[in-house]
Amino acid sequence: MSKEQLKEALTTSERDVECFRELAEHIPEVFWMTDVQGTQQIYISPAYEKIYGHTCASLYDQPVQRLNCVHPDDRERVQTAFDQDAARGDYDEVYRIVRPDEEIRWIRDRAWPVEDDAGRVYRLAGFAIDMTRQQNLEDARQQQHHQMSALNRLTALGMLGAGLAHEISQPLTAARGFLWRAMKGASNGGGLPDEVAQPLERANDEVTRATETVRKLREFVRFGRPSDQNCHFGDVARDAARLIEIKARAMGVSIELSPRGLDEEVVADPLFCQRILLNLMDNSLDAFSQRETASPRIALQLAAVSDEFMDVVYYDNAGGLDEQSCHKLFDPFYSSKKDGLGLGLAASRSMAESLGGSLTLGDEPVPRGSFILRLRRKPPTD
């Protein structure tokens, strides 16, 4: 290589290094480079100071500092993964770090091997991304999902209690009537022997106590009064879809929310609305899990709107309902699923009615097996 060619190559190399440095120093992610063992820090970008809270100079002096920042509960896993996977290009870990101010942040760290001219791995390079905000959002979403699941279980328990109370109260009322007639007839006829009268009185007392217990049970499981507040139904629908999207995506089910009209403002408790929609979506996913469906999807769109109400149609393409299911669908304890309690739709209808609306099976021209959710619209302002 001539002197001029060498000079040109060095100039080009310097320009490349300068471009790389300018890029690395202005990206929000941490770009790093070490030797193969990770014991020598060759390069660290300035974003390290903002994310990790330590100076770049301190990391050059003590390369082990980056591992020491990892949360103690994650450190062994991260070290093992780095030792085993980084040189193969398979290192991709999410972990927590503890900054000097004790703030905990979530990091996604990836690495790939750098080879020399002979094809030997002699360095490791990677990116560390601060994903604390995304992780916090996901944690909040999961927590909300768990809360909604717990509320749904409590709702189902309430429906179960209400159903049992209803079923028990009728025979108890009949038993009280028969006992009263027996005791009344005995008193009119001159009385009964003590060995008969006393058991009858005790039986009457026990039936009365059981009736009072059932009454208290019915009061206990009665739905709480939902709050009347103005909310955008579209926001509620999108929140419900986000809560179930992980399960839906795993099954290949798409959730389509029509933008037209769904952002109407309604008078409803958002939590009740979410529980209604989640019950419907859960039922759809259960149906999809039991049959093969091409391009499975759940859809929600505006059906009709009046001065007082907004009707939303909910449907899926899981195959619809048979005639028997259509007639019994909202009955407590009726379920077409093998292990179903038959309380979800009954609870959903009760919640819709408590909002001043309704939940009914759709009729033509909407698809068979669809549902119509009616909610009160926000009154127009003068």
pLDDT per residue as tens digits for the range 244-258: 887 888 889 999 988
Q: Give me the mean pLDDT over the 206-234 stretch.
A: 69
- Cβ–Cβ < 8 Å for 54, 100: yes
**Residue 320 falls in which region: left (phi positive, over 0), alpha (psi -120 to 50) or beta:** left
Q: Which residue type is seen at 342? A: G
- Name which of 181-195, 304-318, 340-354 the model is least confident about: 181-195
Q: Among 169, 186, 221, identify where a domain stops.
A: 221
Grade residue 216 by pLDDT with cuts at 50, 70 and 90.
low
Q: What is the total count of domains within the chain?
A: 3
| Distant-in-sequence, close-in-space partners of 293: CB < 8 Å, separation ≥ 6 | 317, 318, 319
For residues 226 and 110, which has the higher predicted lDDT (pLDDT)? 110
pLDDT digits (tens, 9 = 90+) for 254-282: 999 886 767 788 888 888 888 889 888 98
d(CA 277, CA 235): 12
Q: Among 221, 255, 281, identify where a domain stops.
A: 221
Q: Give me the mean pLDDT over the 303-317 stretch.
A: 87
| Per-residue pLDDT at 334 exceeds 50 | no
Q: Which residue type is seen at 121? A: V
Task: Specify if 381 maps to a domain.
Answer: no
| Distant-in-sequence, close-in-space partners of 307: CB < 8 Å, separation ≥ 6 | 377, 380
Q: Give me the mean pLDDT over the 118-125 stretch.
A: 88
Q: Among 96, 130, 164, identify where a domain stops.
A: 130
Q: Shortest CA distance to 355 belongs to which of 298, 277, 299?
A: 277
Grade residue 6 by pLDDT with cuts at 50, 70 and 90.
very low
pLDDT (0 to 100) of residue 338 = 52
pLDDT (0 to 100) of residue 107 = 95
Q: Shortest CA distance to 149 belongs to which of 247, 288, 27?
A: 247
Residues spanned by the domain of 239: 230-376
Q: Between 344-354 and 270-289, two packed helices, what is the crossing angle to 10 degrees?
A: 160
| Per-residue pLDDT at 96 exceeds 90 | yes
DSSP letter string over 50-102? HHHSS-HHHHHH-TTHHHHTB-HHHHHHHHHHHHHHGGGT--EEEEEEE-TT-
| Per-residue pLDDT at 200 exceeds 50 | yes
Task: Specify if 338 maps to a domain.
Answer: yes
| Per-residue pLDDT at 1 exceeds 70 | no
Residue 324 sits in the same domain as residue 186: no
Residue 372 sits in the same domain as residue 235: yes
d(CA 70, CA 29): 17
As beta bridge partners, residue 112 has 125
Residue 234 sits in the same domain as residue 184: no
pLDDT digits (tens, 9 = 90+) for 155-187: 666 666 666 666 677 777 777 777 777 776 656
Residue 106 sits in the same domain as residue 35: yes
| Per-residue pLDDT at 213 exceeds 80 | no
Grade residue 379 by pLDDT with cuts at 50, 70 and 90.
confident
Q: Give me the mean pLDDT over the 65-82 stretch.
A: 93
pLDDT (0 to 100) of residue 322 = 58
